[in-house]
Amino acid sequence: MKSAVRHVQEVIDAANATGELAWFNTAYRAWRLDAKKIGSGMSYAEARARLRKAVTKRLITLDVLDCSERLLPDIFPLLGNVEQEPAEKCPTR
């Protein structure tokens, strides 16, 4: 389990270094601005932890190493009182 978590972190770090996680940073910013409107929030560190958890879960359960936008629903919870576009329709997510 520890080696899987370490491997996931290495993959996330590499994806971040190459710009493949630009979608994550854009989605975090958009979610944070929406959450602020209703007095909610999440730190960037927590969002990164949720990303690691989502990637690790897919690796363990599906044997798939995925750092793509398909993880958005697992990382950013829907906000009750703010109009949000579904991730697949939102060009910034």
| SS3 assignment, position 84 | coil
| Distances in whole angstroms, Cα of residue 77 to Cα of each of 10, 49, 57, 63, 73 | 25, 14, 17, 24, 6
pLDDT score recorded for residue 31:
94
Place of tokens 């590499």: 14
Mean pLDDT of the 14-30 span? 93
What is the token pair recorded at 44? 């960037």
- pLDDT for residue 23: 93
Q: What is the reported pLDDT for 80?
A: 74
Work out the burial of residue 67: count CB atoms within 10 Å of its CB; fewer than 13 is exposed, 13-18 middle, 19 or more buried.
buried
